[in-house]
Every structure is written in structure tokens, then in C-alpha cells.
Amino acid sequence: MNRGKLYLILISACITGYSWLAINFYNNAFIESNKLGGCLIKSITSIPCPSCGSTRAVLSFLKGDFSDSLFWNPIGIILIVIMVVTPIWILFDLVFKKSSLYNFYHHTELFLKRKWIVIISILLVLLNWIWNINKGL
């Protein structure tokens, strides 16, 4: 994947994420109730997916309720970091004609292909999924 395509995908994902958060922030649907309206897997199977609660986690974080944010889903904290850092990093690269995010992406991709990292990542996602199911999300 070339630099332009990666940056376009990342900016599109951030815009989509910001839009989704804005809709839910003003609607308060996720914070006010335990009902999940945005997860296709949950609505079809009645079983929460590993990322269920991420929107509520981000919204709780934005409202200053950090413990509630972690309760909903720790993945939300990762999403916050990505959604804040990515546009700033892309803007930096474009203004200064750098490719630092693109280079970081490739180094990260190589790192994540290591067998032990894959195993740990899968185990963490599975543990988070089990936790989502057990807490009745």
C-alpha cells in the first residue's frame, strides 16, 4: 500500500469515527442504556463482539469518566489514541513533506507479524471478548 492510499484510508476512518461519535454523543443512546444499537454481530447473535462497548468507552472517556470507560471496553482507549494522534501525524507529514507515519506503519506491520505477538494479541482479544460476554454487555 502506498503512502497516499494509507493516509486516505486513515483519514476516512477517523472522519467516520468522529461522525459516529458525534451522532452518539448528541443522542446519548449508548450512555443512557445498556442496549446496543450499533453492533451488527450483537443484533444478529445476541452475543457481544470483542469490540462491543467501544463507543460507550470513548464517550465515557470524553465525559471524564475514565473508570467507566475502561469498564465498557479497554479497546476504546486505544481508539481514542488512534483518533487523536492519526490526523495530527498525517498533517505533520503533509506539511513537512515527511513519511514518518507511513514508515511507522510498515515497522509496526512487521512487528505484528511475529508469531509471539500474534498469539498474545489473539489471547488479549479473546479475554476481552469473554469479559464482554460475562459482564452482560
Sorted by where each begins, the domain ranges of the chain are 3-134
Residue 37 pLDDT? 54
- What pLDDT is attached to residue 29? 54
Q: What is the pLDDT of residue 36?
A: 43
Kindly provide the b/e burial profile for residues 63-75, where b requires at least 16 CB atoms within 10 angstroms of the residue's own CB.
Answer: eeeeeebebbbeb
Residue 20: pLDDT over 80:
yes
28 pLDDT band, cuts 50/70/90, is low
With 0.75 as the threshold, say if the pTM is over it. Answer: yes
Rounded to an integer, what is the distance from CA 91 to the centroid of its chain? 20
What cell was used for 65? 469518566
Q: What is the pLDDT of residues 43-81, one digit of tens each?
A: 888 888 888 888 889 989 988 999 999 999 999 999 999
d(C-alpha 65, C-alpha 71), whole Å:
10
Torsional class of 119: left (φ above 0), alpha (ψ -120 to 50), beta (otherwise) = alpha
- Matching residue, cell 498525517: 90
Q: What pLDDT digit, counting tens, does each position of 105-127 carry?
A: 999 999 999 999 999 999 999 99
